């Protein structure tokens, strides 16, 4: 399905109909296809701002809803035509519309920087209850997340740069350990997966910054006897393949050779 955002704009009135109950939602948009796409995205994620239609969507399923275009009109007539259909069908009383006046919906409205900052301050320190967390987890179970775009990856990288990460507290370590124990056992890698991983890693070397950061993070790190025992049990009986042994031997030889060369250069200077 082509992205509706790349298609031409169509201004007008649209309708979302529940095929089981007969209830519907009336809305207007300067770009109907984009607005319908946005409704669909939010409803499938379970985060639509209209609780009435969100509950119905979750109850009856997406297959029992239909999106229709009621009429096309000029952008200046949008609110008047939307109000006309809202009054005609009395959607506030018998449908999913919450606001009795057209044009009061927040969907599709872009917030100013000041409004975004105010919302951030208001929600700072706010924590979800355990019941809310379970509901959020249930709505997201089984859903596949769309891959991040390159622009999104770059923005995420910029947002994390320069952030200082302090040592992990014992309480956090226990939570992480408990979460890992609850996970189902990971299936062993197939030969095809191993080959793909090997090809992906071939020729890649960590940068000096990465090596320095790794050394710093592992400095003065103490492994407890319990952890050592677990590591020992996990690796007990495992045998390395001849290919792996040869590859490791080659890497170690190259590393020592590079270290000797560096030492020789330092002595010459």
Structure pTM?
A: 0.40
- By CB neighbour count within 10 A (0-12 exposed, 13-18 middle, 19+ buried), where does 14 fall? buried
- In angstroms, rounded to a whole number, what is the distance separating the alpha carbons of residues 25 and 96? 5
Q: What is the DSSP letter of 37?
A: H
Pairing of strands 24-29, 65-72: unpaired
What are the sequence ranges of the domains in the chain?
A: 4-110
CATH topology of domain 4-110: GIY-YIG endonuclease (3.40.1440)
Q: Quick check: 22 and 96 in contact, CB under 8 A?
A: no
Residue 8 has a pLDDT of 58
Q: Quick check: 37 and 28 in contact, CB under 8 A?
A: no
DSSP string, 5-20: GGSPP--EEEEEEETT
- By CB neighbour count within 10 A (0-12 exposed, 13-18 middle, 19+ buried), where does 127 fall? exposed
- By CB neighbour count within 10 A (0-12 exposed, 13-18 middle, 19+ buried), where does 79 fall? middle
* Sequence-distant (≥ 6) Cβ neighbours of residue 141 within 8 angstroms: none
pLDDT digits (tens, 9 = 90+) for 119-142: 788 778 778 788 888 877 777 776
Residue 111 has a pLDDT of 60
Q: Quick check: 16 and 105 in contact, CB under 8 A?
A: no
HSE of 140 in the Cβ direction (CA atoms, 13 Å)? 9
Which regions of the chain are under pLDDT 50?
1-7, 107-108
- In angstroms, rounded to a whole number, what is the distance separating the alpha carbons of residues 103 and 28? 8
- In angstroms, rounded to a whole number, what is the distance separating the alpha carbons of residues 95 and 65? 13
Residue 19 has a pLDDT of 94
Question: Cβ of 151: how many Cβ atoms within 10 Å?
Answer: 8
């Amino acid at each position: 399905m082509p992205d509706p955002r790349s298609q031409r704009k169509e201004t007008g009135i649209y309708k979302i109909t529940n095929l089981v109950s007969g209830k519907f939602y009336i809305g207007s948009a300067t770009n109907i296809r984009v607005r319908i796409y946005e409704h669909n995205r939010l409803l499938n994620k379970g985060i639509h701002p209209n609780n009435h239609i969100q509950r119905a969507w979750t109850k009856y399923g997406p297959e029992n809803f239909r999106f229709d275009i009621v009429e096309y009109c000029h952008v200046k007539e949008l609110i008047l035509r939307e109000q006309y259909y809202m009054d005609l069908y009395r959607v506030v009383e018998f449908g999913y519309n919450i606001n009795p006046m057209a044009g009061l919906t927040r969907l599709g409205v872009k917030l100013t920087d000041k409004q975004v900052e105010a919302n951030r301050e208001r929600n700072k320190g706010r924590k979800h209850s355990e019941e809310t967390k379970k509901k959020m987890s249930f709505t997201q179970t089984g859903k596949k997340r769309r891959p991040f775009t390159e622009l999104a990856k770059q923005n995420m990288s910029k947002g994390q740069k320069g952030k200082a990460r302090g040592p992990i507290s014992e309480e956090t370590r226990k939570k992480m350990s408990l979460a890992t124990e609850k996970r189902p056992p990971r299936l062993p890698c197939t030969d095809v997966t191993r080959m793909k991983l090997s090809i992906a890693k071939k020729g890649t070397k960590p940068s000096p910054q990465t090596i320095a950061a790794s050394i710093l993070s592992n400095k003065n790190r103490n492994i407890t006897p319990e952890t050592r025992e677990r590591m020992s049990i996990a690796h007990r009986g495992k045998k390395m393949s001849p290919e792996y042994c040869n590859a490791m031997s080659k890497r170690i030889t190259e590393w020592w050779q590079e270290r000797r060369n560096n030492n020789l250069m330092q002595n010459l200077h």
